[in-house]
Amino acid sequence: MSRRYIFSSESVTEGHPDKVCDTISDYVLDACLEQDPLSRVACETLAKGNLVVLAGEITSNAKFDFEEQVRTAIRDIGYVNGDCIFHADTCRVICEMSEQSRDIKQGVDETAADGKGTAEQGAGDQGLMFGFACNETPELMPAPISFAHKLGRELTRLRKSGEIPWLRPDAKTQVSIEYDGYKPLRATTVVVSSQHAADVKQKEVRETLVELLIKKVMPAEWLDAKTTYLINPTGRFVIGGPEGDAGITGRKIICDTYGGMGRHGGGAFSGKDPTKVDRRPGGSMRGSIRLCYRPPRTRERQRRHLLHRQSGRREIGARRLGSFQFQTGRDHQTARFTPADLSQDDQLRSFRSR
């Protein structure tokens, strides 16, 4: 028996306050790794008003100007308009950094240490990472988050290219998809909220973004007469970015993964070097589950996928493959696969029995 429901996912553009902070943290990380590939970096960013605060732990031989990295990141995002309080050239920057804790360092280093179980390289912390894939889109991502991301990327392109001169950097998108079981059917609602210049009217914002953004990004077969378009539904979005809301690194972890589809272990990606378990194994799990996907060879096998396990070959009838769980601590790592055709209770029992 079919089960119809609606699933929504949101995305944010690079000008959203939290994404501004993610970007700044990653600019600092890149600056470290470019000069010293063995850098240990955990960089957090706070942005509010025209203030940026950097805090964290960095152990690196890299030498660079933190403030210049912050200003470059903000400038590349596009906060250079005179009508925005938050501005690349005028923001204040406060930097509070220390070196990585010696206790954490000895756990990560590939050397023996007093009290350490082995001399192997370990992780700096414990954590849970999940990978997810499905065949709703060519990139094997769920349709709601995939379309939300595409809308956000095109919105950014329209702004940076100058095609829509009144656009400003801060924006959010959200797409709601109606499903019949595992099959996506149509877009029920598309939401776009974009910061804009003060002299543009809501009517122009709505008409422009529906025609030049939504109808060009969303495939026509996903839209119908019943699809609802919500464009800046509050009626005005002039005050945006860190001027309107404080931003912090790591607060858009669902946007950064699968839009709420599958599961999430809670760890963020930005500002962390590859020894941090959130960043490297999180991507590894996504890569592993993608390798399990086999495109259907015939029409009859369109919704059948094969999963090979050490115990033999198991056939999965569900359209979604499932998810990997990657557990890691300072001296252990474990990966587990959960088929998507199991109920949540069965999945938990499956985890406990292995």
Active site residues: 16, 18-19, 44, 57, 172, 237, 245-246, 251-252, 272, 276, 278
Question: CA 196, CA 290: separation in Å to the nearest integer?
Answer: 39
Write out the two tokens for 61.
Answer: 């031989």
Amino acid at 312: G
Amino acid at 148: A
**Total residues found in the chain within this entry:** 354
Write out the two tokens for 265.
Answer: 């272990």
Number of H helices, E strands in the chain: 9, 13
Cα angle vertex 294, ends 292, 300, to 5°? 140
Write out the two tokens for 38.
Answer: 């063995």
Instruction: Identify the three-state secondary structure at position 268.
Output: coil
Instruction: Burial-class residue 58 by CB neighbours within 10 Å (0-12, 13-18, 19+).
Output: buried
Write out the two tokens for 211.
Answer: 């025609």
